Chain A
Amino acid sequence: MNKKTTNANKHIKKIKKTQVVAAEGSTKGPGGCLPIN
């Protein structure tokens, strides 16, 4: 699992993300409100 890549930049190292949230967790909103993209 490669989670972090180094790009050509010297000062910025972007971080790849490992999934931590279950798929069903992604639709919950604050106080029951359903957010939309």
Chain B
Amino acid sequence: MGSLLVKDKQTGPLTNLSLARYKDIVLMGQTAFHARTMEIAELSKEMAYLLSPISLKQDAAPQHLRVPEGDRRETDSLQKEILQELEAWNQAEMQAKVANSSDIRAITINATQICNLHCTYCAAGGDGTYANPQKQIDLLKAIPELKRVLEGKLEASALHITFLGGEPLLFPKGIRVLCEFLTEFAKTKNIELTFKVTTNGTIMNETILSVLNDYSIGVAVSCDGIPEIQDHYRPSKSRISSSAMIEKSVRELLLQRKNIPFVGVHCVVHTSEQNLLRSVDYFKTLGFDWYEFTPDVSNSSEELTESYLNSMSELAQREYVLGGIKALCRIQNFERVFARLEQQAPLRNHCGIGKNFLMMDASGDFYLCPWMVGKPAAKVHSLQDQTHHHLKQDLVELHNCQNCWARTLCGGGCHFIHSNNAQNKEKSYCERVRGTTALAIHYFGEFQRQAQEMTSN
């Protein structure tokens, strides 16, 4: 273990990850991954040597194999044999592609468009309002609109609802009304309904606790790390420390938790100074079930990419040593990859934008994506809206990811981020995703090998 932490000059100066590739086969440490079949394997030393070193910046496969040293006749014959075997695996059939379903699967609802924090990087118009005078969701419009888009929903299918804002927990009564309506609707069609709220985690009271418990609403708290960082990037409008507010609220939430499936944390990584080990130590003291890290998308600097990936690498190593694969499962960036590797189901879409996801704002209008609320061009009437027909294409194809080894685990990435940079994809985003994906595959392979050794001993 730990081979990923060995500096390999050929992978470039940005990361400590050591990767090599042949067509759709990529090697991380001792684990080889087939990008189409999603199988993992161990390669012989001779075969591993032939794969060309790559950096995380590259999305295309190298054109040439590495040439081994030694007696030409001997190496030629061995190389031919190895290459045949490698090529045979590379050509392995992938699973038949299934057409995308147009059945709506997920809706995110802005329960409010007002917030008690004033985050430095707020995507909701800078103050949680999206410059919309509607502060709480207009239930008289929202419910008939939800009814309309859900009318044709398939029987016995799944529906995932996320409450967002602004700060959604400023209007728990509105969330309750929406949950009541959606639960009744789900019963009529035998739909498997799940709820989640993404909150700044600073407010907790009896009304909130009862709606979370009554409707089994999972909670994702946005918190950017230790108090020093959280209070700097996510200050409260009242000037009270937002981290002190979160600590109090989360303590209360965990004490009163009866029927809440998860309490996790979404953490934005801001600067190269941010130490993710310290962040996780802090999150553990608060008692979160899981942690997810997203590097600041407005900071595409190589400095942040390098420090983020190095910090993730150190975090993964420490957590694996401390708690094995289960500890890594608490880090969502890794758990998502583990789940995909287990299912062996290639991911074609990072999200359901334009296919089976809708975003509702506080006025009861629909948009393509939470990042696009308030933008007239992103306003939609339904999933059948022809204005954005190009989004029916898989994101892996739409974003030209066909040559990237990580495409079946990433699903083409965030359309909002890539479409902001229409001429070129956001390279730093891709590099960061490839880095955490490589780490996940490496540790997944390590675990499977160790598990095998234990059963064979």
Contacts and interface: CB of A to CB of B under 8 A. Distances in A.
Interface of A: 1-4, 9-22, 24-37
A6 B266 CA distance: 41
A32 B39 contact: no
Contacts of A19: 342
A21 B448 contact: no
Given A3-B455, A11-B44, A21 B342 contact: yes
A28 B42 contact: no
Interface of B: 31-32, 39-44, 46-47, 81-82, 85-86, 88-89, 98, 100, 105-106, 108, 160, 162, 164, 196, 198, 220, 261, 266, 292, 294, 325-326, 329, 332-333, 335-336, 338-343, 345-352, 355-357, 411, 414, 444-445, 447-449, 451-452, 455
A12 to B, nearest CB: 5
A26 B160 CA distance: 13
8 contacts: A3-B452, A12-B32, A12-B85, A13-B43, A15-B40, A26-B343, A28-B336, A32-B108
Given A20-B342, A25-B339, A31 B448 contact: no
B47 A11 contact: yes
Q: Is the interface of B mostly helix, strand, loop or mixed?
A: mixed
A24 B351 CA distance: 17
Given A26-B340, A26-B342, 18 more contacts: A3-B448, A12-B47, A20-B329, A22-B329, A25-B329, A25-B335, A26-B339, A26-B343, A28-B332, A29-B351, A30-B332, A32-B198, A32-B220, A35-B351, A35-B352, A35-B411, A36-B100, A36-B355
B336 A15 contact: no
B89 A15 contact: no
A10 B32 CA distance: 15
A15 B42 contact: yes
A3 B454 CA distance: 11
A11 B86 contact: yes
Contact of A35 (B43, B108, B335, B347): B347
Contacts of A20: 325-326, 329, 338, 342, 444, 447
Contacts of B351: 29, 33-36
A29 B336 contact: yes
A11 B85 contact: yes
Nearest to B345: A37
Contacts of B340: 26
A15 B89 CA distance: 13
Contacts of A17: 40, 341-342, 444, 448
Given A12-B43, A35-B347, A35-B350, A30 B336 contact: yes
A32 B162 CA distance: 8
A10 B357 CA distance: 46
Contacts of B343: 26
Contacts of B449: 4, 15
A21 B329 contact: yes
Contact of B41 (A3, A14, A26, A28): A14
A22 B421 CA distance: 36
A31 to B, nearest CB: 6
Contacts of A29: 336, 350-351
